[in-house]
Amino acid sequence: MSWSDVIAFFEKLPGVLRHGGVLVVYGPFNENGSFTSESNAAFDDSLRAQNPKMGLRDIEKVVALAEGAGLQWIAHHAMPANNRCLIFRNISQET
C-alpha cells in the first residue's frame, strides 16, 4: 500500500470498527526507522521496484495513525520470517 492508502485506511476505521473491536495488522515493519533484517530490506526494494509508493512502514508511524483513529495498541508479537503482529482495540466512544 502507498502511505496515503495507509493513512486513508486508518482514517476510515472509526466508521467501521465498533467500540471494543479489535484490529490485527500483520507483516514486516521497520523499527525506529531501520530495517529489522536484511531480508526485510530486500523485500522493501522489491516492493518499491513494483511501485515506488509501496514499501515497509515504521511501526511507530502506524501506531501513531492507529492512536489518532481512537485505537489503543494492546500487543506486539514477533512472528516468523521477520514479521510482526500488531494488535489494537477501538477505545473511542460509540457513535
Q: Which domains does the chain have, with CATH numbers?
A: 3-90 (3.40.50.150)
3-class secondary structure, 63: helix
Residue 65 has a pLDDT of: 96
Predicted confidence (pLDDT) per residue in 30-81, tens digit: 999 999 999 999 999 999 999 999 999 999 999 999 999 999 999 999 999 9
Structural Rg of the chain based on CA atoms: 14
Confidence of residue 92 (pLDDT cuts 50, 70, 90): confident
Give SS3 for 70. coil
